[in-house]
Structure 1
Amino acid sequence: MKDQGRDGLADAQRRHWQGTYTAHPGMYGDLPSDPALHAAQVFRAAGAADVLELGAGHGRDSLYFAREGFTVQAADFSATALGQLREAARAQGVDRTVTTFVHDVRDPLPLPDASVDTVFAHMLLCMALSTAEIHAVVAEVRRVLRPGGLLVFTVRHTGDAHHGTGVAHGDDIFEHGGFAVHFFSRDLVDALAEGWTLREVHPFEEGDLPRRLWRVTQALDRAQEPSHR
């Protein structure tokens, strides 16, 4: 469910990313992120065949998953970024195993219950989403995962140097240079894992500053049915 009080911020963030991807095509380069390298190993060890990436951007991680033999569904709220992803998929010869769809994570996923093996989201959950919206996203992930399915996500956390600075939007959301981040506490990570098996909360650093993040891996029990909202 959308938080109506944050629609303006979310729409501003959509415009920000559309403009950013237009001005800087392929801005994150061709190499996969370190979390994607790890996730591919975890997914393969679990016998997974497909990956849903939320917040795929221009696709460096989705394309890596496809090259590694997974069938990939890539979702993002930037149509510009997904266009770049499709072009790259054709150039790399993986366009038959990669599909894309424009999606605002504040809305339900347009996918059937228990229809995907794994979900990957690199820094998607720590965008300009309220705590309630983050819980709703994870509930949707749970709905579309098959029993035994895996979720791997990364988020910036409250130990990051930018936490508590810049433009404050409430709910641990702070904005720097037009980019708003919801900084995660460990309590929020644990709350999102209720009803799951929390396998790992791994701290790491990335990029300038450097950004401080957690890589979280959690799994559905094979006996569980997906929850419905």
Structure 2
Amino acid sequence: MAEHERRLAEAQREHWQRTYGEHPGMYGEEPSEPAVHAAAVFRAAGARDVLELGAGHGRDALYLSREGFTVQATDFSPTGLEQLRAAARVKGVEERVTTAVHDVRDPLPLADDSVDAVFAHMLLCMALSTAELQALVAEVRRVLRPGGVFVYTVRHTGDAHYGAGTGHGDDIWEHGGFAVHFFSRALVDALADGWQLQEVHAFEEGGLPRRLWRVTQTVPPENGGERRT
């Protein structure tokens, strides 16, 4: 990691720690629309074990656990995960949710072929370089079983904040203290290389609104071919 990337990563880690501390449960208790969609996709695929990357204070992890999945929730903010664990106890789902403090720049702390599905809402569009994203997606594929499903969302280059604020290179722009890697369609396609790309769905969220893609891709089944759409 280059020095400027290391400084940006540390600044963002501190920013999110402070934000969760000052605004507990900042995203509310209702699940995101992508999480609701992901639950249906995972259920249709027969998934039981779900890994959520960038779970924050846990609204989506808690929803997935209530839907019957066993959830492993990771985030680089201990404060966010503390809030998640407290909410899981209140809602009586603590036996279905485990947490781990983890920076996705590091290898995932799971064995090969150990989960059925992975979910990440706006985690991949954090301040991660393209090389770090490629390494992360390779890790996601490593821990997914054959036929496993990966659903993630990212802000894209059609978003109103793309090109605004402080530029850090590699399509990463910082606005209001939050650094975002805005995705081009070419980047989505590159990260799907070797997967079966099922869907790239455009949607909007929030008051700006933020413009995002919801991407669904699967690990080809053993001895199966690849399909790109």
Equivalent pair of 1:157/1:183 in contact (CA under 8 Å): yes
Q: For residue 100 of structure 1, what is the aligned residue in structure 2?
A: 99
Which amino acid counterpart does residue 168 of structure 2 have in structure 1? H
Q: Gaps spanning 5+ residues in structure 2: where?
A: 225-229
CA distance in structure 2 between the aligned counterparts of 1:8 and 1:222, rounded to whole angstroms: 40
Residue 160 of structure 2: aligned partner: 161
CA distances 1:178-209 after superposition (whole Å, capped 9, x unpaired): 10000000000000000000000000000021
> Structure 1 residues 3, 224: CA separation in 2 closer, same or farther (over 3 Å shift)?
farther
Q: Give the partner amino acid of 1:166.
A: G
> Which residue of structure 1 lines up, in the alignment, with residue 11 of structure 2?
12
- TM-score (structure 1 length as normaliser): 0.96
1:206 maps to 205
Name the structure 2 match of 1:72.
71
Alignment check: 8 A CA contact 1:113 1:144 kept: yes
In structure 1, what residue type is equivalent to 2:21? T
Match of 1:179 in 2: 178
- The equivalences for 1:27-106 within 5 A come to 27-106=26-105
2:119 is aligned with what amino acid?
Answer: F
1:140-191 per-position Cα deviation (integer Å, ceiling 9, x unaligned): 0000000000000000000001101110000000000110000000000000
- In the alignment, residue 18 of structure 2 is paired with which amino acid? G
The runs of 5 or more residues in structure 1 that have no matched partner are none
Tell me the secondary structure at the aligned position of residue 20 of structure 2: helix
Amino acid at match of 2:158: G
Q: Distance in 2 between matches of 1:164 and 1:80?
A: 30
Which of 1 and 2 has higher RCO (CA within 8 Å, sep 6+)? 1
Matched, 1:189 2:188: yes
**How many residues align structurally?**
224
| Paired residues of 1:147 and 1:224 also in contact (CA < 8 A) | no
% identity of equivalent residues: 74
Instruction: For 1:115 and 1:3, locate their aligned partners in 2 and report how far apart those are by CA, in whole Å.
Output: 32
Question: In the alignment, what sits opposite 2:214?
Answer: 215
Query: Does the 8 A contact of 1:3 with 1:130 survive in 2?
Result: no
Query: What SS is found at the alignment partner of 1:170?
Result: coil
SS in 2 for 1:42: helix
Task: Give the Cα–Cα distance (whole angstroms) in 1 for the partners of residues 176 and 165 of structure 2.
Answer: 9
Query: Which amino acid in 1 is paired with 2:68?
Result: G
Which structure 1 residue ranges, 4+ long, deviate > 4 Å from structure 2? none
- TM-score, with length taken from structure 2: 0.96
> Relative to structure 1, is the Cα distance of residues 3 and 74 closer, same or farther in structure 2, using a 3 angstrom cutoff?
farther
CA distance in 2, matches of 1:80, 1:130: 25
Cα separation, 2, equivalents of 1:211 and 1:120: 19
Give how far 1:5 is off: 3.8
Q: CA separation of 1:64/1:3 partners in 2, compared to 1, >3 Å: closer, same or farther?
A: farther
The one-letter amino acid paired with 1:180 is A
Matched-pair contact (CA < 8 Å) for 1:51–1:117 = yes
Distance 1:203 1:56, change over 3 A: same
Task: Give the Cα separation in 2 of the matches to 1:49 and 1:176.
Answer: 37
CA RMSD of aligned residues (A): 1.1
